[in-house]
Structure 1
Amino acid sequence: MMERMREGVSSIWVKIILALIILSFVLTGVGGYLASSDQPAAAKIDGEEISQAQFEQAYQNERNRMQSQLGDYFTTLMGDPGYVQQFRRSVLDRLVNDALIEQRANALGLRISDDQVKQAIRAMPEFQRDGQFDNDAYNAILRRSRFTPDQFAEYMRTDLLRQQLLTAIQSSDFALTNEVAQLQQLEQQQREVRSLTLDLETFKKRAEISEEDSLAYYKEHAEQFMRPEQVKVSYIELSADTLKQTIEISDDALETYYHENLAKYATPEQRRVRHILIQGDDAQAKEKADAILAELKGGADFATLAQTKSEDTFSAKQGGELDWFERGVMDESFEDVAFALKNNGDISDVVKSTFGYHIIQLEDVKAPHAKPLADIRDELLADLRDQNTAEAFYNLETKLAEFAFEEPESLDAAAKAVNGKVQTTDFFSLEEAEGVLASPAVLQALNSPEVREDALNSDVIELGAEHVIVVRVDDYRPEELLAFEDVSDQVHEILAAERGEAAAEKLADDMLVALRKGDNTLLENNDLSFSEPETLSRRGNDPVLVEKAFSMPKPDASQTVFDMTHDQQGNVVIIALDKVTEPELDAVKANDPLADQLAQMNAQQDVMALLDVLRADAKVTYSVLDGTAQ
């Protein structure tokens, strides 16, 4: 229970919520995400399709994320075809879950307004500069991601819709005081143990293994010693990030760009106004506002009327005065009139907004002010270099495609055309592909008959935004059984480990039988002894020992409990549990972190239960993995 509680913080529930707002999932090569294809759908949910391109992009994004977090360990995991299949299934399951949640949210009548979408986009740090939304940055990122504003807004609307449903589920859970108290007691429980380690290396050295034994094992387990089919690959990689480093910007070009984009690097015009607000949208409110306007036209003081008659109680205290504001802050109709007033003291007609009826008086204007070129030189250089890089990249991409196609039996001409370098690999299996070669699109190309069998250049393959590659197979060797002479040491090591572990476990089993009877003879005969007593908590430094110790039954007052496990090095460990100490609990606090964790776990279970119901009610068909329907 306590282990599940600790895992709750990084649970699938949290991941589902976070996954809905991770922008990198959207902005990494999303051109293919929305594109149609003749390929069969990866999955169908009641007729709604998840495209193959959508699935492959999601898979690659998740693979890149895991690679960056786990490094070489993840590379090792991906060398196991079984793990790869499981990993791909988990990604497709997540896409199916998203679709099911979206369908249920729509069925419940949940909706996301245009204003909610707008506010969510404006709050994204990727689209901001100096803490403010930058429309140019927004359009540039969408352009490079091959999204139109309407497509991106619809994507955000769908994500926010799912989040709305999930948040409603999350906020409905809570933890009872007695539940938290019981969990506190389990969390703070301590166990006194002694341990005895049977070193696996010692038993491996004692194992007697003849060459006949090794040869017999080799023949019986030939599948373990197969060298997988392998390829040698050469490729040209073209990336805007790399190209950017070579782009030179002259001072003249920089100054010209600065003057052409002064508005972009200037503080916007700001205005300070007073206003009188009459709330409501009916004829009576309009009539009241018209009467106030008539008084103003008759010479009444604006500030005085605002103090006595404005229904914006906060600004009324300051005579209707508002803080400085720029375009994009106020209600659009209010803003249009405020920025149309010409001179300080000018008073508008009655203006209708979503808040009611306003009368506006212009107090002051701050003209836009351009930042000096010297102050923003680095920012200008980065912007101009981005623009020049994009143009240069697409020109080079076109050349790469042309030369790779026109001279398909070599990459030399294509490399010369783009001033690039042909990179080569040694033999490797596709399951062990690393870096850019691990991309699903690249692996698909390397498996194609044209590239693998005919030894032709691939088409240009898009790895991400402004990142492409062309590959070819230089050499190929099929799967084959490695010679016994080449793997004899490996076979010997495997046998020694198996037999050594079996011998250690046999001795441990015998010891457990004897110890449970109170017989220490085997300990004495093997010159073994337990360690000094050690008090463990659930958050101990040795997770293997802790997990086993806290899974053992409580000992009687005078009877030690014995059991066996393996440590992180594979050694056999016998554990003697002597005593369990229960804590004396203080009063449970309402905001105890444990209560939050329990509520979080309940929320996770609610989400999983919802998904179980949705899957049971829907027809879900997987095409790309195993073709089974659920």
Structure 2
Amino acid sequence: MMDRIREGSTGLVVKIILGLIIFSFVFAGVGSYLVGGGQPLAAKVGEREITRNDFEQVYQNERNRMQSQLGEYFSTLLGDPAYVEQFRKSVLDRMVNDALLDNQAQDLGLRVGDEQIRQAILSMPQFQKDGKFDEEIFNISLRRAGFSSDSFAEYLRQDLVRNQLILALESTEFTLDNEVKAQGALEAQQREIRTITLDTAAFSKDATVTDEEVEEYYNANKQQFVRPEQVKVSYVELSGDSLKAQAPITDEEIQTYYNENQDKYSTQEKREVSHILIKGDEADAQAVLARLDSGDDFATVAKEDSQDIPTAKEGGSLGWIERGVIDPDFEDAAFQLVNVGDHSGLVKSTFGYHIIQLDGIEAPKTKALAKVSAEIKAFLVDEHAADAFYSLQTELAEKAFESPDSLDDAAESVNVKVMTSDFFSETDAPKLLSNPSVLQAIYSPEVKEDGLNSDVIEIAPEHIIVVRVEDVRDEIVQPLNEVKESVIARLSQSKGEQKALELAQGAISALNKGEMSYLTDNGLNFTQARMITRADELANNVYRLQKPEQGKSTYAQMMDRQGNNVIVALDGVLELSNDAMAEQVSTRLLRSQTQQDLTATLDTLKVSTDISYPLLEQ
């Protein structure tokens, strides 16, 4: 298993992560780029700490991802404190699982070289433009996600190592040929059917409902016609997005921000270097240095003598580095080299002795204002809108409190209109007002019974609302004259369904007896025969039917997705041999087995590892 893991570290695993820019890291194991000492903990997994800051960053990133996918629906979910608590716990659980895998990978001695990180980053399509890496896209994306270049690279390194472990689990799994063939044959199988669809709507339309039936149904089912308590609500809504149009940004502001934040748009000097690492005593390192001083090729010597195995295979190449991210002594020596091709003397670090060669120099660069103007403008618009929002939020809260019997002053203070809903119940509130926190405020005694304005309620980040109840309708049983059409519709639907079911059952009984005249007598005709696969809407039921004898059919009644009764004649079963299907089945079975192994591995690690959750214990 270890051999497979180490093989995976040089090729396959790089393809798992799709990535971006060149980062400046020299050796695996230099130390964590995410400083955790002394910070409050969210969890501790063995000796590995998950800080509160790390958790909050991952949580916010996951929250933003879900918000972009689900929109207002996710905002509604976030209004439920129980959901938020469960969501936060699920994020922390995933981080704990990652930490368990990190510990296991460390125990197994897994590592990812910096060249692998560099290649992974360079290949990430999310940060490419026209098929090539775009530094501006990269910087914006990292900033929005709350990463520095250092923390993102460390995140990438850890993720690649975890994937080595997962690939190792996958490489130990296999599927039996007969297992794949049996499953593949079942999935590739096709079935020939004919159908008769009995349209429930048509039967319901022809159903006759008497006044006596209507009254009888109403009297027996009055609980179905209870109109719950309803409220009419006025509200004032304020959001950061609505304020962006009111935040015009001038060219002068963009220029000023650019001038005051040059560090954001400038790069440090970068150096491309190779190194040879000797972990033995100084005499061994001096002997290697002597070879270089006598003119031996650096890459050749690195391949022969360097004890940093991953980089030795690449002639010692470490890629590009910049100041502030590596061992200071190593960094100083690398940046003191003057000419490309020069090599250093011996440089001592905690790993041993290094000899460094300068392979390239990239001078500092500053992006032109024209290239970052749009980015700066978008940032300033967001910043101005956020400042305005939080200022108005305070004003709204004060006015809503000072004038508790009206929202007029509150609305005027933030320059919006008071909106009023129609009557609604707790179960059919309009989308905006269906947020659990909003409903809780509406139905609170202070708002619903005393007629006061609510406190400011946060629906989502930079999105708030204040509500008041204008009117209340008590719960009542609606009179028959108001619900008569609804009763007729229900009875017609029920009669239509019953008529269709009886006709279908009668047809199945007759067909099984060979009485084909039943179809003619009732104006029923089968469709032309067709082959179906497992993708067909009737497949789940059709594939459960017994294979018919030669020249005969198997008959059954089932329902389609529209709720119509369908009479099905299964005429034959076609067994297909499909190599492509077998390959897909094998891949799917392997994936399932790998997931089971991963779950079992995590369960075992949880038992053998001390895990604490300070965040959940507060």
TM-score, normalised by the number of residues in structure 1: 0.69
Distance 1:410 1:182, change over 3 A: same
8 A Cα contact 2:278 2:354, kept in partner: no
1:498 corresponds in structure 2 to 494
Counterpart selection for 1:482 from 478, 486, 499? 478
- Does residue 575 in structure 1 map to residue 575 in structure 2? no
Partners of 2:466 and 2:606 in 1: how far apart?
A: 41
Counterpart selection for 2:367 from 371, 380, 384? 371
Where 2:590 maps in the other structure, the secondary structure is helix
Distance 1:107 1:266, change over 3 A: closer
2:205 corresponds in structure 1 to 205
Partners of 1:223 and 1:171 in 2: how far apart?
A: 60
Which stretch shifts more, 363-372 or 502-511?
Answer: 363-372
CA shift digits 1:294-333 (9 cap, x unpaired): 898xxx46x6473664445999999988765434676665
Partners of 1:615 and 1:481 in 2: how far apart?
A: 56
Counterpart AA for 1:229 = E
Partners of 2:585 and 2:359 in 1: how far apart?
A: 55
Where 2:459 maps in the other structure, the secondary structure is strand
- Deviation at 1:292? 6.1
- Deviation at 1:553? 1.0
Partners of 2:432 and 2:255 in 1: how far apart?
A: 38
- Deviation at 1:454? 2.1
8 A Cα contact 1:235 1:470, kept in partner: yes
Partners of 1:307 and 1:100 in 2: how far apart?
A: 42
Q: For residues 317-336 of structure 1, what are the structure 2 equivalents within 5 Å?
A: 325-327=321-323, 333-336=329-332
Counterpart AA for 2:252 = D
Return 5+ residue gaps in structure 1 as ranges.
1-33, 37-52, 79-83, 144-148, 617-630
Counterpart AA for 1:188 = A
2:589 corresponds in structure 1 to 598
- Does residue 252 in structure 1 map to residue 234 in structure 2? no
1:271 corresponds in structure 2 to 271
Counterpart selection for 1:381 from 377, 381, 384? 377
Counterpart AA for 1:595 = S
Partners of 2:228 and 2:420 in 1: how far apart?
A: 20
8 A Cα contact 1:102 1:162, kept in partner: no
Distance 1:314 1:229, change over 3 A: closer
Distance 1:64 1:269, change over 3 A: closer
Distance 1:69 1:534, change over 3 A: farther
8 A Cα contact 1:60 1:440, kept in partner: no
Where 1:432 maps in the other structure, the secondary structure is coil
Which stretch shifts more, 526-535 or 494-503?
Answer: 526-535
Partners of 2:321 and 2:61 in 1: how far apart?
A: 42
Distance 1:375 1:208, change over 3 A: closer
8 A Cα contact 1:304 1:319, kept in partner: no
- Deviation at 1:549? 2.0
Partners of 2:567 and 2:97 in 1: how far apart?
A: 53
1:12 corresponds in structure 2 to none
2:225 corresponds in structure 1 to 225
Partners of 1:461 and 1:356 in 2: how far apart?
A: 59
Partners of 1:159 and 1:245 in 2: how far apart?
A: 40
Which stretch shifts more, 501-510 or 56-65?
Answer: 56-65
Partners of 1:320 and 1:157 in 2: how far apart?
A: 19
Counterpart AA for 1:596 = T
Counterpart AA for 1:212 = E
The total of aligned residue pairs comes to 538
8 A Cα contact 2:214 2:484, kept in partner: yes
8 A Cα contact 1:408 1:457, kept in partner: yes
- Does residue 261 in structure 1 map to residue 252 in structure 2? no
- Deviation at 1:441? 2.3
Counterpart selection for 2:540 from 537, 547, 557? 547
Which stretch shifts more, 473-482 or 163-172?
Answer: 163-172
- Does residue 306 in structure 1 map to residue 313 in structure 2? no
- Does residue 561 in structure 1 map to residue 558 in structure 2? no
Distance 1:259 1:94, change over 3 A: closer
Partners of 1:444 and 1:155 in 2: how far apart?
A: 40
8 A Cα contact 2:105 2:165, kept in partner: no
1:236 corresponds in structure 2 to 236
- Deviation at 1:425? 1.6
1:457 corresponds in structure 2 to 453
User: CA RMSD, aligned part only?
Assistant: 5.4
Distance 1:571 1:258, change over 3 A: same
Where 1:592 maps in the other structure, the secondary structure is helix
1:402 corresponds in structure 2 to 398
Partners of 2:242 and 2:471 in 1: how far apart?
A: 28
2:3 corresponds in structure 1 to none
8 A Cα contact 2:102 2:162, kept in partner: no
Q: For residues 60-79 of structure 1, what are the structure 2 equivalents within 5 Å?
A: none
Where 1:370 maps in the other structure, the secondary structure is coil
Partners of 2:448 and 2:158 in 1: how far apart?
A: 41
Where 1:596 maps in the other structure, the secondary structure is helix
CA shift digits 1:122-169 (9 cap, x unpaired): 9799999945897897577659xxxxx99x999999999999998887
- Does residue 428 in structure 1 map to residue 421 in structure 2? no
Partners of 2:339 and 2:571 in 1: how far apart?
A: 88
Partners of 1:397 and 1:304 in 2: how far apart?
A: 71
Counterpart AA for 1:258 = Y
Counterpart selection for 2:435 from 436, 439, 446? 439
Return 5+ residue gaps in structure 2 as ranges.
1-39, 43-55, 608-618
- Deviation at 1:493? 0.9
Where 1:431 maps in the other structure, the secondary structure is coil
Partners of 2:227 and 2:606 in 1: how far apart?
A: 41
Distance 1:378 1:94, change over 3 A: closer
- Deviation at 1:95? 5.1
CA shift digits 1:212-252 (9 cap, x unpaired): 21111112222222223222222233222222222122222
Counterpart AA for 2:532 = L
Partners of 1:538 and 1:329 in 2: how far apart?
A: 55
2:504 corresponds in structure 1 to 508
Which stretch shifts more, 229-238 or 257-266?
Answer: 229-238
Counterpart AA for 1:243 = L
- Deviation at 1:516? 0.8
- Deviation at 1:89? 9.0
Partners of 2:84 and 2:374 in 1: how far apart?
A: 43
8 A Cα contact 2:556 2:567, kept in partner: yes
CA shift digits 1:427-481 (9 cap, x unpaired): 2223233444333322322232222222222222223333322222222223322
Partners of 1:572 and 1:334 in 2: how far apart?
A: 77
Distance 1:59 1:350, change over 3 A: closer
8 A Cα contact 1:100 1:611, kept in partner: no
Which stretch shifts more, 456-465 or 552-561?
Answer: 456-465
8 A Cα contact 2:100 2:602, kept in partner: no
CA shift digits 1:103-140 (9 cap, x unpaired): 89859964789x99x989x9799999945897897577
Partners of 1:610 and 1:318 in 2: how far apart?
A: 34
- Deviation at 1:210? 0.9
- Deviation at 1:336? 4.3
- Deviation at 1:348? 5.0
CA shift digits 1:528-563 (9 cap, x unpaired): 2222222222234xx13x333222111122432111
- Deviation at 1:596? 1.4
TM-score, normalised by the number of residues in structure 2: 0.70
- Deviation at 1:368? 1.8
Which stretch shifts more, 334-343 or 448-457?
Answer: 334-343
8 A Cα contact 2:188 2:581, kept in partner: no
Counterpart AA for 1:593 = Q
8 A Cα contact 1:200 1:500, kept in partner: yes
